[in-house]
Amino acid sequence: MFGDLISDTGNIILKGGLASVSLSSRLPYGMTSFHRPTGRCSNGLLMIDFISRALNLPLLNLYLKRTGVFNRGVDFAVAESTALDTSFFPARNIPVPISNTPLSAQMQWFKDHLKSVCRSPSDCAARLQRSLIMMGEIGGNDYKHAFFNVKSIQEVRTYVPHVVSATINGVKEVVGLGAVCVVLPRNLPIGCIPIYLTCFANRDPEAYDLMGCLREVNEFARYHNNYLQRALHSLRQKLKRDNPNMVVVYADYYGALESVPARALFLGFDRGSLLKSCCGIGGIYNYDGRRMCGTPGVPVCREPEKYIHLDGIHMTHKTYRHMSEFLIGDMLSKMQRVW
C-alpha cells in the first residue's frame, strides 16, 4: 500500500522527529474503533482497513513498525506525502512538511522490503503475482501544498502532467517487479472538503454547485482524474500486450465520496452538517487552520457517525466505510480475473 493520509495507518507517528507528534497521534483520532490514536487520520478505520477486511485479510502492518509481521501485507503510505519528489517544490516556492515521504521514497522502502523477504527476484515476482498493490491515493497533497501557498488553479494545472507521470511510473515499477494486480485511485472532490470551502470561500453563489461544493475546485480534481485516466488507458494497452492477465483497476474515489452526501438521509448523516467538520471550531464549516482538531480547546461533536468530515481535511470512520462499500464490488469483480 502506497499513498498519503488517506492510506497511512500510522507510519506518520513512527517516522520520528516532528512527524511523530502529528495531530493524528492524539484523541479524537482513533476514538471510535481503537479508543486510542493509532496514527490514522480518522476517528476509526480508513478505506484500506475496510478493503482488507473485505478480502479476509488482517489490517496492514506498518513498514516502519520493525517488529511487525509482514506476510499478509505492508503499508508504506505516510500522511502529507506527495507523488512528486520533494525537490519539485522549492523551485516553485512551495514548502512541504518535513514528514514528506514522496512516492519514490515509498517505492524504495518497497524494494528494500522485498529484498528482506524474498530469496531471489523470481521469488519476489511469484509473491507479487499473488498480491494486490494499492497505488495511493497519491497526488492530492502535491496540489494542496500549492493551493495553500497561493498558487492559482491555472498554475497548478501545469503540475498535473508531472503528478500523473510520477504515479504512472510507480505503477510501471511495481509491474516490472512482478505485480499483476494494481489499484490506482482517482483523486477526491476536494471542492466539497471543509479546508477548501473555508480557504476558497466565494461571495458569488454561482461558484457553488447544488451540494454547496466549489465548482472550480472540483473541476480541477476532475481535470486531474481525466488526465490520469487517459494515461492509465495508454499504459493498460501496453501492459496487456505483455501480459494478458494484467489488471490495473481505476478506483473511483471521487465518485465514492460524492455518493455519500447524495445518500445522506438513507445513510443516517445529519443533513445540516454535510460540509461541516465534526472536530473543529469556527466559521461556516467548523474549520480553522490555526486551531486544528487535536489541539487543546478544539471541541469534538458528540456523534461523529452523523458527520461526513472529521476534522476539515479527513473523513470519519463511517464515511470511509461507505466509500469502501462503493468501491469494493467493482474492485473485486475485476481482480477475480487474476486470482
pLDDT in tens, 29-73: 999 999 999 999 999 999 999 999 998 888 999 999 977 667 778
pLDDT of res. 335: 74
Residue 337 confidence (pLDDT) above 80:
no
Each residue of 95-121: pLDDT tens digit? 998 889 999 999 999 999 999 989 999
User: What pLDDT was estimated at residue 218?
Assistant: 98
Provide the pLDDT confidence category of residue 338 given band limits of 50, 70 and 90: low
The pTM of the full predicted model, rounded to 2 decimals, is 0.95
DSSP labels, 58-91: PPPEETT-TT---TT-EE---TT--SS-GGGTGG
Tell me how far apart the alpha carbons of residues 312 and 293 are, in angstroms, rounded to a whole number.
8
Domain presence at residue 127: yes
Query: Angle, to 10 degrees, between the axis of helix 121-129 and the axis of helix 103-117?
Result: 110
Residue 34 resides in a domain: yes
pLDDT at 69: 66
Give me the pLDDT at residue 18, please. Answer: 58
Element (H, E) at 183: strand 181-185
Q: Which of 88, 144, 125, 80 is nearest to 106 (CA)?
A: 80
For residue 102 the three cell numbers come to: 514522496
270 pLDDT above the threshold of 80: yes
> Any residues with CB less than 8 A from the CB of 198 and at least 6 apart, and which?
283, 284, 285, 287, 288, 289, 312
Whole-angstrom Cα distance, residue 15 to residue 289?
Answer: 23
Neighbours of 206 (CB within 10 A): 7
pLDDT at 71: 72
**Residue 227 belongs to a domain:** yes
Mean pLDDT of the chain: 93
Residue 3 domain-assigned (yes or no):
no
- Examine residue 4 and state whether it is found in any structural domain, yes or no: no
With respect to residue 315, please indicate whether it lies within any of the assigned structural domains. Answer: yes
**Cα dist. 15→77, 191, 252, 302 in Å?**
11, 30, 30, 32
User: Once rounded to an integer, what is the mean pLDDT over residues 67-88?
Assistant: 89
Q: Which domain holds residue 263?
A: 11-335
Cis peptide before 90 (omega within 30 of 0): no
Residue 169 CB-half CA count within 13 A:
14
The total of structural domains in the chain comes to: 1
The answer to whether the beta carbons of residues 41 and 24 sit under 8 Å apart is: yes
Q: Is residue 251 part of a domain?
A: yes
Domain for residue 2, yes or no?
no
* pLDDT tens column, 193-226: 999 999 999 999 999 999 999 999 999 999 999 9
Question: How confident is the model over 138-187, as pLDDT tens digits?
Answer: 999 999 999 999 999 999 999 999 999 999 999 999 999 999 999 999 99
- In this model, does residue 296 exceed pLDDT 70? yes
Q: Which among 56, 59, 54 is positioned nearest to 1, based on CA atoms?
A: 59
Q: 3-state secondary structure string, 216-270?
A: HHHHHHHHHHHHHHHHHHHHHHHHHHHCCCCEEEEECHHHHHHHHHHCHHHHCCC
